[in-house]
Amino acid sequence: MHENDESPLTRKLAAFVALSDAELSVLERLHQRRRSFKVGTDLVHQGQSDRAAYILSEGWVCSYKIQPDGTRQIVDFQIPGDFLGLRSVLLRTSDHSFEPVVDIRAAEVLAADLLEAFAQTPRLATAILWAASRDEAMVVEHLVGLGRRDADARMAHFLLELGSRLALVGMGGRAGYDCPLTQYHLADALGLSAVHVNRVLRQLRERGLVTFRNGRVTFDDYAALIDLADFDPAYLDQSGPLLKW
């Protein structure tokens, strides 16, 4: 597909375990069934229906819950290399829905294939479970942000986290990254109103910290932003744990 056939997931996992050729080819085989989804077509991932997971290879997705009163809370965003609905393959739980933020391409993974891959290559299984556990840690961090950070710090923390995640799959760095999210997405994720998101972004820009504009996030003062957000990327990188295996 691309010049090198390295998928974002491969790239992400490789950052934490050195995968053998055999493991790489098993991983590759998981990417067989490619599918596309357009914005607007909800990936209805409601429990009972299908028991497939996806590996996102291109584009962004958000997972969310709708409240009875109509408001929406975005639980997390998925970027290339992330799993969609991994849990609902292994167990039969799927408490939230998925919606593409932009047109996406993803590989469908059947439960059987995944379990077989796990059986064949335990190290790969460990790596994937590590990724899943990292996702959980992000949800927890998100919860902490909603509970105990004000709007500025929340936004700063969010933009930094996204930057770190994207850097892992080669889609961003200290300078910034391309970001297809609208201010409404930010609002629904951060528990703010869209109007206030706009004000917060303006303020961060005017303070010379970060610029969110035209689908691009630019870090103007990385260090100061980290300071404002009290950002500690330990929960993302966890560098070390897997290397020992």
- Binding of a copy of itself at residue 119 (CB under 8 A)? no
**Quick one: which segment of 36-44, 128-136, 193-201, 210-218 binds a copy of itself (CB under 8 A)?**
128-136
CA distance 240 to 245: 10
CA distance 186 to 180: 11
**Quick one: which segment of 12-20, 28-36, 134-142, 169-177 binds a copy of itself (CB under 8 A)?**
134-142
Q: How far is the CB of 162 from DNA (least distance, A)?
A: 15
Nearer to DNA, 9 or 192 (CB): 192
Tell me the CA distances in angstroms from 143 to 115, 170, 172, 196, 233, one per residue in order: 31, 27, 25, 19, 16
146 binds, among DNA, a copy of itself, none (CB under 5 to 8 A by kind): a copy of itself
CA distance 61 to 69: 23
| Contacting residues for 199 by C-beta, under 8 A, at least 6 apart | none
Q: Which of 14, 111, 125, 151 binds DNA (CB under 7 A)?
A: 151
Q: How far is the CB of 42 from DNA (least distance, A)?
A: 15
The full length of the chain comes to 245
- Binding of DNA at residue 193 (CB under 7 A)? yes
CA distance 8 to 151: 31
Q: Which of 22, 44, 194, 243 binds DNA (CB under 7 A)?
A: 194
| Contacting residues for 181 by C-beta, under 8 A, at least 6 apart | 60, 77, 101
Q: How far is the CB of 86 from a copy of itself (least distance, A)?
A: 11
Binding mask 180-199 for a copy of itself (x = CB under 8 A): ----------xx--------
130 binds, among a copy of itself, DNA, none (CB under 5 to 8 A by kind): a copy of itself
- Binding of a copy of itself at residue 96 (CB under 8 A)? yes
- Binding of a copy of itself at residue 239 (CB under 8 A)? no
Alpha carbon 112 to chain centroid distance?
24
SS3 193: coil
**Quick one: which segment of 9-17, 114-122, 210-218, 227-235 binds DNA (CB under 7 A)?**
210-218
Phi, psi of 116 (to 5 degrees): -65, -45
CA distance 207 to 102: 30
Q: Site for a copy of itself (CB under 8 A): how many residues?
A: 41
Is residue 10 within 8 Å of 57, Cβ to Cβ? no
| Window 36 to 95, contacts with a copy of itself (CB under 8 A) | 47, 65, 67-69, 71-73, 75, 87, 90-93, 95
Residues that bind DNA (CB under 7 A): 150-152, 182-184, 191-196, 198-199, 201-202, 213-215
